[in-house]
Amino acid sequence: MTNLIDIKGVSHAYQTRMGPLPVLDGLSLSVPEGEFCAVVGPSGCGKSTLTRLISGLMTPDRGEVWLHGEKVTSPRKTVGMAFQNPVLLEWRSILENVILPLEIVAPRMSRKDRVERAMQLLEMVGLKGFDAKRPSQLSGGMRQRASLCRAIVHKPDVLIMDEPFGALDNFTREDLWQTMRDLRAAEPFTCVLITHDLRESVFLGDQVIVLSGRPAHTQFVLDVDLPADRKIDILYTPKATE
């Protein structure tokens, strides 16, 4: 199987007034095409930094990031992103928000095809009938569903989600986990999910990366019941400063 993402010995330090702050130190990981990689770790361990390196928003001090056989040196349009607080435009309807990436990456696609694609996704995530609403008319969970549609509408190489369900209540969050699984069953895509919820990481991940060298953290992961239907690889990657 080919790897969609290859992170090879990546190190990064931020320059701060107190001097360099090492965040990632020699991190290596691979995500095969079509796989779901969940990255867990305590706050401040470098999870968001990792997403910026994969999407090309930042380049590492040392090491290399490869995406689809190409070395990443600048921001990528082929990466879909979703965050904890969905950034939906209030002056656009839900449908027009979801269509937005297509206007940018597929300018020649017809209006009819764009609408069809967006409506198909909205239906898949349970937002049928909400396409004409404004973001503020939807609940937090529904807004997150809409932002997921927007993140994958243009079929990016990889969907990167940085704690996308962190602000939701437990019930809504677990509904969204199932929606994620349904979406991937209907339309396979490669995914990197950043989370600090261990249950979320094992429910969704084919591979779980633990960015923490602290035995207590790794033990928590093992204590979570692993679903019997899937084999999950767990990779422990100590951070630099531990």
Return the number of the residue (45 or 151) whose C-beta is nearest ligand ADP. 45
Which string of DSSP letters, residue by residue, matches 178-193? HHHHHHHHHS--EEEE
Quick check: helix, strand or coil at residue 197?
A: coil
**At its nearest, how many Å lie between Mg ion and the CB of residue 72?**
19
Task: State how far the Cα of 76 lies from the Cα of 79, in Å rounded to an integer.
Answer: 6
For residue 21, state whether it binds ligand ADP (rule: CB under 6 A).
Answer: yes
* Torsion angles phi and psi, residue 102, rounded to 5: -70, -35
In the shown chain, the binding pattern of residues 13 to 52 toward Mg ion, with x for contact by CB under 5 A and - for none, equals ----------------------------------xx----
Select the span of 38-46, 68-76, 119-127, 185-193 touching ligand ADP (CB under 6 A). Answer: 38-46
Helices (H), the chain: 47-54, 94-105, 111-124, 140-152, 170-186, 198-204, 215-223
Q: Which does 128 bind (CB under 5 to 8 A by kind): ligand ADP, Mg ion, none?
A: none
Return the number of the residue (45 or 138) whose C-beta is nearest ligand ADP. 45
Quick check: helix, strand or coil at residue 232?
A: coil
For residue 84, state whether it binds Mg ion (rule: CB under 5 A).
Answer: no
Task: State how far the Cα of 215 lies from the Cα of 199, in Å rounded to an integer.
Answer: 18
Q: Which does 14 bind (CB under 5 to 8 A by kind): ligand ADP, Mg ion, none?
A: ligand ADP
Task: State how far the Cα of 14 lies from the Cα of 16, in Å rounded to an integer.
Answer: 6
Kindly state the tokens that stand for 44: 């401040």
Neighbours of 24 (CB within 10 A): 25
Q: Which does 74 bind (CB under 5 to 8 A by kind): ligand ADP, Mg ion, none?
A: none
For residue 143, state whether it binds ligand ADP (rule: CB under 6 A).
Answer: no
**At its nearest, how many Å lie between ligand ADP and the CB of residue 206?**
21
Q: How many residues bind Mg ion (CB under 5 A)?
A: 2
For residue 44, state whether it binds ligand ADP (rule: CB under 6 A).
Answer: yes
- Burial profile 219-231: b = 16 or more Cβ within 10 angstroms, e = fewer: eebeeeeeeeeee
Pairing state of beta strands 19-32 and 36-40? unpaired
Q: Which does 23 bind (CB under 5 to 8 A by kind): ligand ADP, Mg ion, none?
A: ligand ADP
For residue 45, state whether it binds ligand ADP (rule: CB under 6 A).
Answer: yes
Interaction residues for ligand ADP, span 47-66 (CB under 6 A): 47-49
Pairing state of beta strands 158-162 and 3-16? unpaired
Kindly state the tokens that stand for 223: 């204590």
**At its nearest, how many Å lie between ligand ADP and the CB of residue 26?**
16
Catalog residues that contact ligand ADP under the rule CB under 6 A: 14, 16, 21, 23, 41, 43-49
Catalog residues that contact Mg ion under the rule CB under 5 A: 47-48
